[in-house]
């Protein structure tokens, strides 16, 4: 920071009389005096490295509005919500013309219904909360029972949130999402929790080479070896050092899977390739963000953000 120039009217009064001041200061009184004595910067402010003006992107700022605008500009938020499905297993499909065999994963949608909506005004972003499966009401806590009751849906076994770009992706609360949401030939991203491997050593978890089986080696064949240098390198283990530990049981996203088959009646969606997690695990399917958005027509959105009318009707009936 540049030094502050003296300010105020009587700042000279604080100085000693001129004859007591050093010679150089005394002489300076005859020169034209400027009120500010600072170092002038020769650099103009640099354009942002992340959103330079040439790109036309909005300038970076910390507000939530700017963050949403950035997200919209990056075009990585799907236009509509996805659904929850159960991984049922793998098989193969043959193309009758070319005879090409494609390994595929069979997913079955489980009674997906919209439970709640997240709006820009109230929550700061747009999202659709989707519930799937069924849970016996006696196993559901009262707060959650109320949550499902206000949506007018049965208690759900799984609940997940799907972010969407804007209001256009909203679905009425209580609305259903079935396998017909997707078309054959479309592209989806599938995310699920991978298998947990438990506590795994460095060789399995990170692919370390281990140590030789022989050449005088004894009792140390699968150890990770050294964790870092000694005095010259700081005699410490650097943060993020790959070591043995819990492996797996993490979210796994597989992008750009092609939809090979859709059976709306049985809730089946068949996608190419493999999907993380064991058979019977819950997976989230949503439109692929790295492919052009699919053409679709959303069910008419009436702006209903709770299933209250259904609830009242139910109460009257009871």
Tokens 């990056």 — which residue?
A: 74
N- to C-terminal Cα distance for the chain? Answer: 74
Binding part of the chain for another protein, among 71-79, 114-122, 144-152, 188-196 by CB under 8 A, reads 144-152
The residue within the footprint of another protein, chosen from 92, 218, 226, 295 (CB under 8 A), is 92
The residue within the footprint of another protein, chosen from 257, 270, 275, 288 (CB under 8 A), is 270
- List strands edge to edge, sheet with 176-177: 158-163, 127-132, 112-118, 176-177
The residue within the footprint of another protein, chosen from 146, 168, 185, 228 (CB under 8 A), is 146
Binding part of the chain for another protein, among 4-12, 33-41, 146-154, 219-227 by CB under 8 A, reads 146-154
Alpha-helical (H) ranges within the chain are: 11-14, 23-28, 64-74, 120-123, 142-151, 202-206, 308-317
Q: By CB under 8 A, what part of segment 35-54 binds another protein?
A: none
Shortest CB 136 distance to another protein, Å: 9
Q: By CB under 8 A, what part of segment 112-141 binds another protein?
A: 113, 134, 137
The residue within the footprint of another protein, chosen from 145, 203, 252, 308 (CB under 8 A), is 145
Q: Could you say whether residue 110 binds another protein (CB under 8 A)?
A: yes
Q: At what angle do helices 308-317 and 142-151 cross, to 10 degrees?
A: 100
Shortest CB 137 distance to another protein, Å: 4
Smaller CB distance to another protein: residue 1 or 315? Answer: 315
Shortest CB 87 distance to another protein, Å: 10
Q: Could you say whether residue 81 binds another protein (CB under 8 A)?
A: no
Bridge partner list, 117 = 128
Smaller CB distance to another protein: residue 89 or 245? Answer: 89
Token digits of residue 270: 């068949």
Contact present, 185 and 259 (Cβ < 8 Å)? yes
125: region left, alpha or beta (phi > 0 left; psi from -120 to 50 alpha): beta
Binding mask of the shown chain, residues 148 to 167, with x at each position contacting another protein by CB under 8 A: xx--xxxx------------
Q: Could you say whether residue 245 binds another protein (CB under 8 A)?
A: no
Distance of CA 292 to the CA centre of its chain: 20
Smaller CB distance to another protein: residue 95 or 167? Answer: 95
Q: Give DSSP secondary structure letters for 31-85.
A: SPP-S---PPP-PPPPPPSSS-GGGTPPPP-SSHHHHHHHHHHHT-S-SS--EEE
Q: Could you say whether residue 108 binds another protein (CB under 8 A)?
A: yes
Smaller CB distance to another protein: residue 23 or 136? Answer: 136
Radius of gyration, alpha carbons of the chain: 32
Q: Using the 8-state DSSP alphabet, how is residue 195 labeled?
A: P
The footprint of another protein (CB under 8 A) covers: 86, 88-96, 99, 101, 106, 108-111, 113, 134, 137, 142, 145-146, 148-149, 152-155, 176, 261, 263, 265-268, 270, 310-311, 314-315, 318
């Amino acid at each position: 920071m540049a030094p502050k120039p003296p300010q105020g009217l009587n700042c000279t009064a604080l100085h000693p009389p001129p004859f007591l001041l050093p010679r150089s200061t005394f002489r300076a009184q005859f020169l034209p005096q400027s009120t500010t004595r600072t170092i002038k910067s020769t650099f103009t402010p640099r354009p942002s490295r992340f959103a330079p003006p040439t790109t036309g992107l909005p300038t970076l700022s910390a507000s939530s509005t700017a963050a949403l605008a950035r997200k919209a500009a990056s075009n990585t938020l799907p236009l509509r919500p996805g659904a929850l499905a159960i991984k049922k297993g793998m098989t193969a499909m043959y193309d009758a013309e070319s005879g090409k065999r494609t390994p595929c994963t069979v997913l079955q949608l489980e009674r997906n219904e919209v439970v709640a909506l997240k709006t820009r005004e109230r929550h700061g972003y747009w999202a659709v909360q989707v519930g799937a499966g069924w849970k016996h009401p006696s196993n559901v806590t009262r707060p959650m029972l109320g949550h499902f009751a206000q949506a007018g849906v049965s208690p759900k076994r799984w609940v997940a949130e799907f972010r969407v770009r804007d209001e256009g992706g909203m679905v009425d609360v209580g609305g259903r999402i079935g396998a017909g949401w997707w078309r054959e030939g479309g592209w989806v991203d599938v995310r699920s929790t991978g298998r947990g491997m438990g506590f795994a050593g460095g060789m399995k978890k990170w692919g370390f080479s281990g140590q030789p089986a022989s050449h005088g080696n004894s009792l140390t064949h699968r150890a990770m070896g050294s964790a870092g240098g000694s005095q010259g390198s700081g005699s410490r283990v650097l943060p993020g050092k790959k070591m043995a530990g819990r492996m797996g049981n993490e979210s796994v996203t597989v992008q750009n899977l092609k939809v090979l088959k859709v059976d709306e009646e049985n809730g089946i969606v068949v996608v190419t390739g493999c999907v993380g997690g064991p058979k019977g695990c819950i997976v989230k399917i949503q439109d692929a963000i790295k492919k052009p958005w699919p053409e679709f027509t959303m069910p008419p959105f009436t702006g209903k953000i709770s299933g209250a009318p259904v609830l009242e009707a139910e109460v009257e009936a009871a």
